[in-house]
Copies of this chain bind each other. A is one copy, B any other.
Amino acid sequence: MRSITIKDIARLSGVSVTTVSRALNNAPEISEETQERVLRVCREQGYRTNLLARSLISSRSHLLGLVLPELANPYHASLSLNIELCARELGYQIMLCCGRPEKGQMKSPFDLLLSQRVDGILMASTSDSAYALPQNGPGGVPCVVLGACAAESTTARTNTVSVDNFMGGYMAAEYLFRLGHRNTAYLGLRPGSSTHTLRNQGFLTAARTLGMAVEVVENPDPSSSIESGCRMARQLFRRPGFCQTAVFAASDAVALGVIQVADELGLAIPEQLSVLGFDNIEYAALPNIRLTTISQNTPLLARSAVRLLMELIESGEDAVYTRKLVTPSIIQRATCRPLSSEEAPPA
């Protein structure tokens, strides 16, 4: 059951192990003839490099650790997938490790990954910051934190890649303005969260520049969900003098709440009200929802993170910390419509 090694190949093709190694890594100092012969034997025997041994001696494992929060949402799924894909293209494998650091006697994800001698760590941020990175990085290898919440740790000594939430908010306002809307509402997320703050600021900044009115509705709940979207929508619709023709929900979950309430109240979307979301979660694409929304562009996010991590690994740089912002894009579906200029806002 022993798998065949470089020694076997050497014996079988009548050369030394060194030569076999050279043939495999097509080193310059080997004759084409020998190389071909050796490689043929390798193929015949089904030889496979033992990467453990290679990593051991080169002290580079070409492994990347990926730390995920314990909950499985489509966002993280897509992130993981793209990360793996990009890493593999660049010659790296992904070692998975899902949250829950101190459950029972289990070691923390970081310890495990470091023991496996990963070359770097990619960490999808959790809102639950119960376990953040150890103070000075995970200890020895570079680390990139990835995702929206990463912005919160703006002072920490970490490398982060996240969506540009400010820009997203800005784009939302521009988009609605271009459609002709002049009276809009912003429905927020968990108050104080950086995601909320940035998207809000972006939206308000653009609105101010463009001269577009914004009614801000604060999220009453500690966490934002469809339910809190419902609550905010009801509150908005019942305000005296409600005249908004479009709402920007700071997350798709909130947008779904808005749609639900509008449905209940017989408010037609998009005829009477345009709704714009943020995140492009899977639900948004459902045929009976078709939510127009701002997409985080997970593939790009993933690629940027992997690239950054690569650079850190190659350079060995550990004194300078980078922060990348990825510009989101608008996914046009069916919940926003242009407003002709002579249309009066509803009473």
Known: A73-B74, A88-B106, A89-B106. A114 touches B48 (CB 8 A): yes
Measuring CB to CB, which residues of chain A are less than 8 angstroms from any residue of chain B?
1, 3, 46, 48-53, 55-56, 61, 66, 68, 70-74, 76-78, 80-81, 84-85, 88-89, 93-98, 100, 106, 111-112, 114-117, 139-140, 226-227, 256, 260, 263, 282-283, 286-288, 316
| Listed A/B pairs (5) with beta-carbon separation below 8 Å | A1-B316, A70-B85, A74-B282, A84-B97, A260-B287
With CB as the reference atom, state the residue of chain B lying closest to A230.
Answer: B287
Distance (whole angstroms) from the CB of A220 to the closest CB of chain B: 17
Assembly CA distance A116 to B117 (angstroms): 13
Residues of B within 8 A of A51 (CB): 115-117
Seed contacts A49-B115, A66-B96, A227-B287; 15 additional CB < 8 Å A-B pairs: A48-B111, A50-B115, A52-B52, A68-B81, A72-B77, A73-B74, A73-B77, A73-B282, A80-B96, A84-B98, A93-B112, A95-B96, A256-B286, A260-B288, A283-B283
CA distance in complex: A74, B288 (Å): 19
Q: Which residues of B contact A73 (CB under 8 A)?
A: 74, 77, 282
How far does the alpha carbon of A80 sit from the alpha carbon of B282 in the complex, in Å? 18
Q: How far is the CA of A115 from the CA of B3 in the complex (A)?
A: 11
Residues of B within 8 A of A114 (CB): 48
List the B side residues contacting A96 at CB < 8 Å.
66, 80, 84, 93-96
Looking at the assembled complex, report how far the CB atom of A65 sits from the nearest CB atom of chain B, in whole angstroms. Answer: 10
Could you say which residues of chain B place their CB within 8 Å of the CB of A260? 287-288
**Do the beta carbons of A72 and B72 come within 8 Å of each other?**
no
| Residues of chain B within 8 A of A71, CB atoms compared | 81
Q: Which residues of B contact A56 (CB under 8 A)?
A: 50, 52-53, 56
A116 x B52 contact (CB < 8 A)? yes
Q: How far is the CB of A269 from chain B (nearest CB, A)?
A: 13
Contact between A72 and B70, CB atoms less than 8 A apart = no
Chain B residues with CB below 8 A from A53, complex form: 56
Q: Determine if B72 and A98 form an interchain contact, defined as CB atoms under 8 angstroms apart.
A: no
| Cβ 8 A contact of A55, one of B46, B52, B72, B112 | B52
